[in-house]
Structure 1
């Protein structure tokens, strides 16, 4: 579908990214810096644990009060996932115990066929638990059952996985992130069709979700009877034709992941083009912590970003940092270095007091300034559990690369 000379594209992209990052590329972060951030994260998540009821999972902290969810909410897997990442780093068994307690709440979600978010809910939690502990006997059956539940939402007519159970057949860009769950389940011995569903969904999303400039729609609503597109729109963005920031990052991360999972270079080319769009956008702040929507009205002059934090999106930045680290291992030469430098800049900025909370503050969350859903007036300029998850993931990926390991085990 996309006829492009890959070598030419990589060289051109490297020049673009080089120009963008020249003014803010930082020195490589050292192990001591990364360990300090992770040690702080261990201390902070223990604060969060004290504020989290035994039967609920943390979601955010607003107006001095903690907010929580039950296991069926889409963010339920991020807190145990973060606990497990930090256990992997620290070997602090208190964190493992806390994670196991929350997995008991989540276990029933393996049978949930009403959501497309089972990757977030189960793979970030049970997937990390199995990977870190090696206990396949306990956790593999849960993951395979959950993947089968997710696959029930796939339609061979639309060639996508349904996101929500209203409208006609809505599919959101966020769903790219849940495809890893399906490809992993297929590797674990699940049906091959799980892998095939992930590939087909990714291909359909490439065709229908993206505009010519490589920005993406948040929602594409399909006709479930013939697979035609009824409407392209937004739910969490500024307006239908805008580029909702986290949506762009879901796609960036998702297609880099699909290249890793399949080895198909078309996904890497696509991820590179998404990166180019985001990085060259005139409304991308110099510190690379995006505003909630690249096309939102009344954004400040991004050349004067230092004093303006309202409606920044730390969760998007965390996703970008983690994705760029992976992408730095997927390309070569100057572009590899540029992606690594971009991740370095983002992590360094997120780790500064502007975005990173002081120990004991912020309800126990690590990062400040994320946005959930501005149109719905929900979770605006608050910490979010998934911002912390991908920030910690980025720190661990950075440490792996410094140690000469693969970015993803």
Structure 2
């Protein structure tokens, strides 16, 4: 009788969602705590390796040097954004001081209109700063950045142009651009011009129409005639081939449509996100440890390079997508995200204190076709790794 009662109680607890992720394995809370405490110390090393007027970009072990960028580089928001995630967890005043110093050199880029990356640059940094610190000046910066980004919208084509025109491409739009829609949507929802969110919606709809194949894998670059919206080319810049599925691009799409569902509650976006997830998770080339090869069709698999950044973005996206899913899907998404995070936290991917130039993760891939940032640490891998850990702790522990 007591055994039956015990089983019944356990069944009720599970069905009511009271057995959270920590109770399932007993260790995720500990893992998250360890990673943030490590990050607190490791990012102090990175800060010392980077002059005060620039941002970290990557690190090359052969030369033992951290490569830096100016604040116009598309990754410039990730270092202060990561510092802010660390501060939010540890309350380390030295980390906050460093974050504010880096925000101060980045702030001027709120006026930048040279490409589509204002969301990465200004929302991952100042968006987190305003969320955590509630400083009204940070919101003004975000509002201005949304206005700057909106100038790249072409209503005739229904898209935000990613890169400027060149001899090779008339109006390139990359799948990465889905990530920048968060800036526009958030500003509209927080007192800003409603047109920004409408731009985001229009761009998301055009991207569904033109970027995705029947299996819900994505092209990297769509080249548009910006006056008519005609698609001129469907190609890649960083993938293995025009027809391949570049892994970080798939993760950008997954994250982007999950985020657009959050802002709109349009089930079309939720369906798109789930279909992208299905493609990624069911692909025969997805490794069991859930860190993708740099391209799902990369030559040389299983000996091709992995991309830690793609794994981190995917994990963070799946943790949010699980919030909007039924029990079966939720279980799958959480399991995959947990596996990816455990892998990234392992000795294979996570650096040791004082090594790796001060970056957290090793083994990311920037662009193999350009022989750029290949098998190195990258700021956005660290950022989305900590974002995923933050999301897990906030939503599932």
Per-residue CA distance 1:139-174 (angstroms, 9 max, x = gap): 111111110000000000110000001221110000
RMSD value over aligned CA atoms?
1.1
Q: Which residue of 1 aligns with 2:12?
A: none
Distance 1:30 1:370 in 2: 23
State whether residues 155 and 161 of structure 1, in contact with CA within 8 Å, keep that contact through their aligned partners in structure 2.
yes
Who is 2:101 aligned against?
Answer: 101
Matched, 1:218 2:217: no
Per the alignment, in what secondary structure is the counterpart of residue 375 of structure 2? strand
Segments of structure 1 that go 5 or more residues without pairing to the other structure are 1-25, 301-307, 404-409
Q: Which residue of 1 aligns with 2:142?
A: 143
Q: Moved runs in structure 1, 4+ residues, more than 2 A?
A: 26-30
Question: 2-side partners of 1:383 and 1:229: how far apart?
Answer: 35
Going from structure 1 to structure 2, the CA distance change for 1:28 and 1:251 (only over 3 Å counts) comes to: farther
Partners of 1:163 and 1:171 within 8 A in 2: yes
TM-aligned CA deviation for residue 27 of structure 1:
3.3
Structure 2: distance between partners of 1:97 and 1:125? 14
1:160 aligns with 2:159: yes
- Which residue of structure 1 aligns with residue 178 of structure 2? 176
Find the counterpart in structure 2 of residue 347 from structure 1.
341
Call closer, same or farther: CA 1:98–1:316 in 2, change over 3 Å: same
Higher relative contact order (CA 8 A, sep 6+): 1
Give, in whole Å, the separation in 2 of the partners of 1:30 and 1:230: 47
Return the index of the structure with the highest Cα Rg: 2
Of the three residues 328, 332, 355, the one matched with 1:334 is: 328
What secondary structure is seen at the aligned counterpart in 2 of 1:80?
helix
**Shift in Å at residue 188 of structure 1?**
2.0
Once the two structures are superposed, residues 154-210 of structure 1 have per-residue CA deviations (whole angstroms, 9 ceiling, x without a partner) of 000110000001221110000000000000111221110000000000000000000
The unaligned stretches of length 5 or more in structure 2 are 1-23
What is the CA–CA distance in structure 1 between the aligned matches of 2:28 and 2:217, rounded to whole Å?
Answer: 34
Q: Please, what TM-score do these two structures have when normalized by structure 2?
A: 0.91
Q: Superposition pairs for residues 226-241 of structure 1, below 5 Å?
A: 226-241=228-243
What secondary structure does 1:291 align onto? coil
CA distance in 2, matches of 1:283, 1:142: 42
For residue 357 of structure 2, what is the aligned residue in structure 1? 363
- Give the CA deviation at 1:29: 3.9
Report the CA distance between 1:360 and its aligned residue.
0.8
Q: Which residue of 1 aligns with 2:373?
A: 379
Equivalent residue of 2:88, what SS?
helix
> 1:317-343 CA deviation, whole Å, 9 max, x = no partner?
001111111111111211111111111
For 1:339 and 1:402, the matched residues in 2 are separated by: 12
Report the alpha carbon displacement of residue 28 of structure 1 after superposing the two structures with TM.
Answer: 5.9
The alignment's TM-score, normalised by the length of structure 1, stands at 0.89
* 1:313 counterpart residue number: 307
**Is structure 2 residue 291 aligned with structure 1 residue 289?**
yes
* 8 Å Cα contact 1:365-1:388 kept in structure 2: yes
Equivalent pair of 1:28/1:344 in contact (CA under 8 Å): no
Q: Report if aligned partners of 1:28, 1:341 keep a CA contact under 8 Å in 2.
A: no
Q: Distance in 1 between matches of 2:185 and 2:105?
A: 25
